[in-house]
Amino acid sequence: MEYRIVTDPSVFAHGSHLITSSDSPLLEAFDLPLLAEMVAQARKGQLADSQFGCAPFARITMIPDTAWQDTLTEELLVALRPLFKKPVSENVVLDCTLLTESGVRDPVLRWVFNLDHSLDDLGLKSGKTARDRVKCLTGFCLPSQQETLQTAFRQQHAVANGMLAARRLADIPSEICTPQYVVEQAQHLCKLFPTLRCEVLDEKEIVEQGLGLLHAVGKGSSRPPRLLAIHYDGAKDGPVRSYVGKGITFDTGGLWLKEGAGMYTMKYDMCGAANVLGLMLSIAELALPVRVMGVLALAENAIGPEAMQPGSVARACNGMTVEINNTDAEGRLVLADAIAWTSQRHPQTHFIIDMATLTGAVVKALGYELSGLMTQNEMLREQLVLAGKKSGDEVWSLPLNGRMKKQTESAIADLCNTPTNNAAISASAAWLLHHFCPPEIPWAHLDVSGTALWREGGRSVASGRPIPLLVQHLLDDLEYVVWFCRPAQA
């Protein structure tokens, strides 16, 4: 989807769909008899909508001002969603005069740009006609708002493009979207940016480099595991920010077999890895002056003669051993190896943040709107919470301390991968993971089991979260570093 920012109403494309508010200064530019009636209706708190007597527009929608100003309940998005189900025009004019003054701007822009993907686009329905879609979003603002809005559009367009890439990949059925397929798609997408380069470990190199946990999870499948590292060189030197994603392309549960209903959406168990890829693409599009590494731990947790068995012990690349007492707790195994491998790559690692659809328990605790955040680094915790509020992609911090120690104790190995008491499942998983990041490197874990999918109309599709959160955090972090390292005034 293309976009443009305008301050002159005379340049709107003829036949556009105008979405505005009752108090917008834009309305003064048009002498339409129906506007007075629509304004009166909108000021009563009702949505006013017309496709008649709108020239030069094909449609005018007036949303009450309270929706434009709401920052918590997504009232504006609730009003917008039905308008885009069957758009009457491929050109939409979004009146941003109120958006620039409220905290809902970024989520709204991201949402509109994300309309560029739907399940129909995968081409898996025969005889499906091309759907109507918005091709150009025009943002109208006052001249004094133009610079702020231009920055917002540019950032959210890049964020949405990363989300779109992640969503398209995650929505693909798992018989196609294998570990090797993810690698090939990532390589194809990364070629679009000269600042991105890919490094791949195949199943033999995974064993040679000692990633025994990733090997244990992937060895039961005929589709072998991969470790993909994407390097972004937006600066010649300096510390490296690192992101790690769980990429279980399908999760049967292994020999600890899931029931059928629980297996249905398991093609989405690689959303963490898909979102790391999308994040790297967003960073590259924004051309941020920083070094970043994204690591995708890719495997299929399948049943076969070589599948890992409950009670087996595997060794990670940092030398620690893990008793696998539940083969359906495989995500923390591949993450643990990937975190340890990532921590060993750069002596100047600024932080490591991992993301994963790790536990159903976090959904019971936080629902579908909040990602679970677990870290022992207070600065990183505060930064991520703040970035979540600023971006509209919020997190909620859960405890992570020595109280969890007994949850990962094993009689035969250094650690076990699940607690036997079925308590504090999300935090116990994070406690296991923290052993694989050296204490001198700030580390945070994001459990996105509730937020990695959008759930509408009884269907689940990939959401692209927490890419908005992490882009905002990175922007904030770069701003902080620039401020903190500025030369002292004489």
β-partners of residue 461 are: 454
Q: What is the DSSP letter of 258?
A: P
0.75 cut: is pTM over it?
yes
Q: What are phi and psi of 357, to 5 degrees?
A: -80, 80
Q: Give residues with Cβ within 8 angstroms of 28, minimum separation 6.
A: none
Do residues 258 and 328 touch, judged by C-beta distance below 8 A? yes
Classify the phi-psi angles of 210: left when phi > 0, otherwise alpha if psi is within -120 to 50, otherwise beta. left
Give the tokens for residue 356: 């994963």
The CATH architecture of the domain made up of 2-159 is: 3-Layer(aba) Sandwich (3.40)
Q: What are phi and psi of 312, to 5 degrees?
A: -75, 160
With pLDDT > 90 as the criterion, what percentage of the chain qualifies? 83
| Confidence at residue 132, expressed as pLDDT on a 0 to 100 scale | 84
| Confidence at residue 347, expressed as pLDDT on a 0 to 100 scale | 86
- Assign 230 a pLDDT band (cuts: 50, 70, 90): very high
Q: What is the DSSP letter of 140?
A: E
Read off the pLDDT of residues 46-77 as tens digits, 9 standing for 90 and up.
999 999 999 999 999 999 988 888 776 678 88
Strands in 59-62's sheet, in edge-to-edge order, are: 2-6, 136-140, 91-95, 17-20, 59-62, 48-50
Report whether pLDDT(482) > 70. no
Which entry of 110, 168, 246, 332 is annotated as an active-site residue? 332
In this structure, the number of other CB atoms found within 10 A of the CB of residue 56 comes to: 14
In this structure, the number of other CB atoms found within 10 A of the CB of residue 66 comes to: 12
**Looking at 111-125, 279-293, 305-319, which range is the least confident one?**
111-125
Of the segments 91-100, 176-185, 260-269, which one has the largest average pLDDT value? Answer: 176-185
Which entry of 197, 258, 345, 389 is annotated as an active-site residue? 258
pLDDT top residue among 130 and 16: 16
Residue 372 host element (H or E): strand 371-375
Read off the pLDDT of residues 406-437 as tens digits, 9 standing for 90 and up.
999 999 999 999 998 889 999 999 999 999 99
| Confidence at residue 104, expressed as pLDDT on a 0 to 100 scale | 64
Give the tokens for residue 36: 């007075």
Fold of 175-485: Aminopeptidase (3.40.630)
Q: How far apart are CA 478 and CA 31, in angstroms?
A: 47
Do residues 394 and 371 touch, judged by C-beta distance below 8 A? yes
State the average pLDDT over residues 115-130: 85
**What is the rounded end-to-end Cα distance, in angstroms, of the chain?**
49
Give the rounded distance of the alpha carbon of 230 from its chain centre. Answer: 16
| Confidence at residue 262, expressed as pLDDT on a 0 to 100 scale | 86
In this structure, the number of other CB atoms found within 10 A of the CB of residue 77 comes to: 16
Three-class secondary structure of residue 68 per DSSP: helix
> Which amino acid appears at position 81 of this protein?
R
| Confidence at residue 429, expressed as pLDDT on a 0 to 100 scale | 97
Q: Give residues with Cβ within 8 angstroms of 391, minimum separation 6.
A: 106, 107, 468, 469, 471, 472
How many residues belong to the chain? Answer: 490
In this structure, the number of other CB atoms found within 10 A of the CB of residue 423 comes to: 12
| Confidence at residue 99, expressed as pLDDT on a 0 to 100 scale | 81
Q: Give residues with Cβ within 8 angstroms of 425, minimum separation 6.
A: 359, 360, 361, 418, 419
Give the tokens for residue 288: 């941020």
- Assign 490 a pLDDT band (cuts: 50, 70, 90): very low
DSSP codes, 299-362:
EEE--STT---TTEEEE-TTS-EEEES-TT--HHHHHHHHHHHHHTT-TTEEEEEEEE---THH
Domain ranges of the chain: 2-159, 175-485
With pLDDT > 70 as the criterion, what percentage of the chain qualifies? 96
| Confidence at residue 103, expressed as pLDDT on a 0 to 100 scale | 61
332 flagged as catalytic: yes
Query: How far is residue 366 from each of residues 313, 390, 411, measured CA to CA in Å?
Result: 32, 19, 33
59 flagged as catalytic: no
Read off the pLDDT of residues 356-369 as tens digits, 9 standing for 90 and up.
999 999 999 999 99
